[in-house]
Structure 1
Amino acid sequence: MTTMAFRFLSSWKIWLWPVLLVGLALGAWLLPWESWVPALRDWVQSHGPLGWVVFVGVYVIVVILPLPAAAMSVVGGLAFGWWGYPLSMLGSVLGAVPPYLIGRTWLRGILLRRFPGPRVAAADRAIAGNAVLFVTLLRITPILPFTVQNWLLGLTGITFWPYCLATLLGLAPGTLAMVWIGEMGGLATTRTSEAQLLIAGAGLLCFAILMLWLTRVATLELRRAGFGAQD
C-alpha cells in the first residue's frame, strides 16, 4: 500500500468509529424495538447456556464470512446485556482463528514462493518481531475490514498465540462500544428513565471520543512503523 493510499484511508476512515457509534446509538434510541427485544431476551433466558452457544457459533460464522461482525456485537448487547461483551469477544477471537490457520498452513508458502526476495523476507521478519503491537494497532484501526485482516495476517510470520493475544487486545475497545449500543437498545425497551438513558448515552459519547483518539494514535503508529511506505 502506498503512502498516498494509506493517508487517504486514514483521513476518512478514522472517523468511522464515532460516526458508526452515533448512528447506532440514534437507532437504539429511535427504532421501535419494544416488540421484539423483550422476546429475544426471554428466549435467551429460557434457553440458558444453549443461547450462549448459539450466539457464539453464529458470531464465528459471521466473522469467517465477509459479513458485518460489529452488528453481532450490537445483537449481543440487545440479547444478553453486558454479558454480550465476553460472548462477543469469544466469538470474535474464535472466528479469527480459522482464516489465520488456513493462510498460515497452506497459503503462506505459496506467497513466499511467488514473491521471493530479501525485501519481502525483511518485512515479514519485522512484522513477526513486533507481532503483538502490530496486530493490536491494526485491529483498532478501521483501515481494513476485520475478515480481510484475518486472512492477510495468516500470510505473515506472526505466530498463533501472539496473534490471538493481540486480536483480543485490539478488539476489546470496539467490541465494548458495539455491545454498549446494544445495551442502550435494551434499556430503551424496558422501563428505564430518561435520565438513565441520557447517562448511558453520554457515557457512550465519551467512549466514542476515546475511540477516535485510539484510532488516531494507532494509525500514526502504523505509519511510523512503515505501514504504507512506498513500494
Structure 2
Amino acid sequence: MTDGTQLTWQIWIWPIALVGLALGAWLLPWDDWVPLLRDWVAGHGATGWLVFVLVYIVVVMLPLPAAAMSVVGGLAFGWWGYPLSMAGSMLGSILPYLIGRRWLRGPLLRRFNGPRVAAADRAIAQNAVLFVSLLRLTPILPFTVQNWLLGLTDIRFWPYVWATLAGLAPGTLAMVWIGEVGGLASTRAQGGQLYIAGAGLLAFGILVIWMGRVATRELRRAGFDQS
C-alpha cells in the first residue's frame, strides 16, 4: 500500500467512526444505565467532574480510545461534557509532551543526530502552531502517539498548548454531541429535539470531516507522509 493510498484510507476513519458512533447513540438501548449515570453525576457534583477528568487524563496518556471518553462525557454530563472533555484532553496531552521534552528528547537526539533530523526538527518548530493544529485535526497518527512524539520535537510549550487546543476543539465537540444525542434518546426526549440534535450533528460532522481532509492534504503537501 502506497503512502498516498494509506492516507486516503486514513482520511475516511473520521467519517466512518462518526457515522458509527452517531448510529449507536441513536439506536442502542441506553435507557438502562444512562439515567443511572446521570443520577450519580448529579448526586456527586464536583467529585464526578474530577473523577471524569482524571480518568480522561489516564486514557489519553495510554493507547486507549480517547474519543470514546468524550462520548461518555456527553452521555453523563450533557453539554458540560465538552469543557470537561477538553480539560481531560489538554492535561492528558501536556504530560507526555513534558516528559518527552524533559527526559526523552536529549537522549534520542544524541543517538539519532544528523543533518536531516536537525533540519526536520527546525522546520517543525518554525511552523509549530500550524503543524500541531493540522496534526490534531487528522487521523494520520493516534492522538496518544502524537502527544509523545511532539514532546521529542523543539516545539515550545505555549505554541504546543494553543495549537492543541485549537485542533482538538472541533472533534471533541462532535464526540460530546454524539453522547448528548444518546442522552436525549435515553431520557425519552421529544422526537423534534432528537431530530434537531441529529441534524446539527450531521452538519457539524460534515464540517469536521472537511477540516480533517484539508488538514491531511496540507500535511501531505508539506511532505509529512514521505519517508
Equivalences for 1:47-196 in 2 at 5 Å?
47-196=44-193
Please give the alpha-carbon distance, in whole angstroms, between the structure 2 residues aligned to 1:158 and 1:226: 18
Where does residue 24 of structure 1 map in the other structure?
21
Secondary structure, counterpart of 1:97 in structure 2: helix
Task: Tell me the CA shift for residue 175 of structure 1.
Answer: 0.3
Q: Moved runs in structure 1, 4+ residues, more than 3 A?
A: none
Tell me the TM-score normalised to structure 2 length: 0.97
The correspondence for 2:224, drawn from 218, 224, 227, is: 227
Please give the alpha-carbon distance, in whole angstroms, between the structure 1 residues aligned to 2:38 and 2:134: 34
Can you list the C-alpha shifts for 1:106-133, whole angstroms capped at 9, x where unaligned? 1111121112122211110110011111
Please give the alpha-carbon distance, in whole angstroms, between the structure 2 residues aligned to 1:36 and 1:76: 14
Task: Tell me the CA shift for residue 4 of structure 1.
Answer: 3.6
Count of residue pairs the alignment pairs up:
227
Task: Tell me the CA shift for residue 145 of structure 1.
Answer: 0.4
Please give the alpha-carbon distance, in whole angstroms, between the structure 2 residues aligned to 1:77 and 1:15: 23
Secondary structure, counterpart of 1:195 in structure 2: helix
Where does residue 199 of structure 2 map in the other structure?
202
Tell me the TM-score normalised to structure 1 length: 0.95
Secondary structure, counterpart of 2:188 in structure 1: coil
Task: Tell me the CA shift for residue 103 of structure 1.
Answer: 1.1
Task: Tell me the CA shift for residue 150 of structure 1.
Answer: 0.5
Checking the alignment, whether the CA contact within 8 Å between 1:9 and 1:143 is kept in structure 2 is no
Amino acid corresponding to residue 163 of structure 1 in structure 2: Y
Amino acid corresponding to residue 7 of structure 2 in structure 1: S
Please give the alpha-carbon distance, in whole angstroms, between the structure 2 residues aligned to 1:212 and 1:204: 12
Consecutive unaligned residues in structure 2, runs of 5 or more: none
Task: Tell me the CA shift for residue 99 of structure 1.
Answer: 1.1
Please give the alpha-carbon distance, in whole angstroms, between the structure 2 residues aligned to 1:192 and 1:25: 16
Please give the alpha-carbon distance, in whole angstroms, between the structure 2 residues aligned to 1:8 and 1:101: 34
Please give the alpha-carbon distance, in whole angstroms, between the structure 1 residues aligned to 2:121 and 2:202: 38
Secondary structure, counterpart of 1:67 in structure 2: coil
Amino acid corresponding to residue 22 of structure 1 in structure 2: V
Consecutive unaligned residues in structure 1, runs of 5 or more: none
Checking the alignment, whether the CA contact within 8 Å between 1:25 and 1:181 is kept in structure 2 is yes
Amino acid corresponding to residue 184 of structure 2 in structure 1: L
- Of residues 103-112 and 72-81 in structure 1, the stretch that sits farther from structure 2 once superposed is 103-112
